[in-house]
């Protein structure tokens, strides 16, 4: 099993793998997954999904931040919320 050590900063991971003619992108920190026709398209979809999720999370902050499955997402959501643009969100995926 591969092991990836990441700095404790609020960076996001994009795991992109080919699967049955498409590329699947997964962000383990936010439990998000999507797909695209190319690795770049899959990443673009994942970024858009992260932005949408951050907007929803902030709109329902009290509920989401208390949820056992979503409370750990808060620092990442705050980092996205600080610059809620595709460029800002993409920067969180870049090392």
Prediction pTM value: 0.86
DSSP conformational letter for 93: H
3-class DSSP state of 15: strand
1 found inside a domain: no
| pLDDT tens by residue, 22-80 | 999 999 999 999 999 999 999 999 999 999 999 999 999 999 989 999 999 999 999 99
Domain count, the chain: 1
Other residues' Cβ atoms within 10 Å of the Cβ of residue 64: 18
Alpha-carbon distance of 63 to 54, in angstroms, equals 13
43 found inside a domain: yes
7 found inside a domain: no
10 Cβ partners below 8 Å, 6+ apart?
75, 76, 78, 79, 92
Give me the residue label for tokens 């080919």: 18
Range of the structural domain that residue 73 is part of: 15-93
Which CATH number does the domain housing residue 56 bear? Answer: 3.30.160.620
81 found inside a domain: yes
21 found inside a domain: yes
């Amino acid at each position: 099993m591969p092991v990836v050590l990441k700095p404790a900063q609020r960076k996001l991971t994009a795991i992109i793998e080919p699967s049955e003619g498409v590329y699947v992108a997964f962000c383990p920190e936010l439990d998000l997954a999507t797909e695209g026709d190319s690795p770049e398209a899959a990443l673009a979809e994942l970024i858009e999904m992260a932005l949408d999720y951050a907007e929803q999370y902030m709109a329902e902050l009290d509920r989401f931040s208390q949820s056992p499955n979503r409370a750990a997402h808060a620092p990442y959501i705050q980092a996205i919320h600080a610059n809620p643009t595709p460029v800002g969100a993409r920067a969180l995926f870049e090392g």
